[in-house]
A and B are shown apart, each in its own frame.
Chain A
Amino acid sequence: MDRPRRTPGLSSLTSSRIASSQYASHGASLRSQNAQSLSTQLEVFQSLLHNFAVVHAKDIRANPAFRAEFARMCSALGVDFLASSHHRGKGKDGASGSIWAQILGSDVNDFYFNLGVLIVEECRATRAENGGLISVAEIRQRIQRGRRIGGGMEVSDDDITRAVDSLAPLGSCFSIMKIGHRSLIRSVPKELNTDQCTVLEAIQVLGYVTVSMLQINLDWERPRAYAVIQDLMSDSLVWVDTQAGENEYWSPASISGALGGPG
Chain B
Amino acid sequence: MTTHTNPSTSLDPDNTTFKFPSHYSFPPFFTLQPVHTTRTSQLHSWSRLIQSYCQHHHLWTLSLTDALPSPLFTNTHLSRSLSLRDAREIISWMTTSEAGRRAEWTSPTSSTSSTSSTSTTSGDREDQKTRCYIFWRRPEEWASVIEEWVDRTGQKGSVLTLYEIVESESTRKEEFWGMERGLLERCLRVLVKGGRAQVFGREGSEGVKFF
- Name A's B-contacting residues (CB within 8 A): 128-129, 131, 208, 233-234, 236, 239-244, 248-250, 252, 254-256, 258-261, 263
B26 at the interface (CB under 8 A from A): yes
Q: Which residues from B are CB-within-8-Å of A254?
A: 26
Q: Are A255 and B26 in contact (CB under 8 A)?
A: yes
User: B42: which A residues are within 8 A, CB to CB?
Assistant: 129, 239
For residue B33, CB closer than 8 A to chain A, the reply is yes
Contact A240 B34 (CB under 8 A): yes
Smallest beta-carbon distance B51→chain A, Å: 13
Q: How many positions in chain B have a CB within 8 Å of any CB in the partner chain?
A: 27
**How many inter-chain contacts with C-beta < 8 Å in the A-B complex?**
72
Contact indicator A258/B26 (Cβ below 8 Å): yes
Chain A min CB distance to B75 (Å): 10
List chain A residues, Cβ under 8 A from B196: none
In the complex, are the beta carbons of B34 and A255 less than 8 A apart?
no
Contact B80 A255, beta carbon cutoff 8 Å:
no
Residue numbers in A under 8 Å from B28 (CB-CB): 239-241, 248-250
When distances are taken between beta carbons in the complex, the residues of chain B under 8 Å from A259 are 1-2, 20, 22, 24-25
Q: Given the complex of chains A and B, what is the CA–CA distance between A121 and B41 in angstroms?
A: 16
Flag if B26 contacts A261 (CB, 8 Å): no
Interface status of B13 (Cβ within 8 A of chain A): no
Residue of A whose beta carbon sits closest to that of B48: A263
Distance to closest chain B CB from A145 (angstroms): 12
Given A256-B22, A258-B22, A261-B19, A244-B27 contact (CB < 8 Å): yes
Q: Interface 1/0s, chain B 14-32, versus A by CB < 8 A?
A: 0000011111111111110
Bound together, the chains give a CA A129 to CA B33 distance in angstroms of: 10
Q: Which residues of B contact A208 (CB under 8 A)?
A: 27
**A236 and B37 contact, CB distance less than 8 A:** yes
Check A233–B35 contact: CB distance below 8 A.
yes
**Interface set of B (CB-CB < 8 Å, partner A):** 1-2, 19-31, 33-35, 37-38, 40-42, 45, 79-81
Contact: B27 with A243, CB < 8 Å? yes
Measured between alpha carbons, how far is A101 from B116 in the docked complex, in Å? 66
A260 partner, pick from B22, B33, B35, B41, beta carbons under 8 A:
B22
Contact indicator A239/B37 (Cβ below 8 Å): no
Q: List the B side residues contacting A260 at CB < 8 Å.
A: 22
CA distance A189 to B19 in the complex (A): 36
Check A128 against B22 for contact (C-beta < 8 Å): no
A255 to B140 Cα, complex, angstroms: 34
Q: Does B34 contact A233, Cβ atoms closer than 8 Å?
A: yes
> What's the minimum C-beta distance from A92 to chain B, rounded to whole angstroms?
54
**Chain A residues near B1 (CB-CB < 8 A):** 259
Q: Smallest CB–CB gap between A190 and chain B, Å?
A: 13
Q: A129-B41, A254-B26 are in contact. Are A241 and B2 (CB under 8 A)?
A: no
Whether B27 pairs with A128 at a CB distance below 8 angstroms is no
**Docked-complex contact A248 and B22, CB < 8 angstroms:** no
**Residue of A131, A239, A256 most packed against chain B (CB within 10 A):** A239
Residue on A nearest B37 in the bound complex, by CB: A128
Give Cα A259 to B31, complex, Å. 19
Point out the residues of chain A lying under 8 angstroms from B31, CB to CB: 239-243
Cα-based distance from A118 to B3 in the complex (angstroms): 34
Q: Which residue of B lies closest to A239 (CB)?
A: B28
Q: How far is the CA of A261 from the CA of B42 in the complex (A)?
A: 18
Q: Which of A234, A236, A248 contacts B27 (CB 8 A)?
A: A248
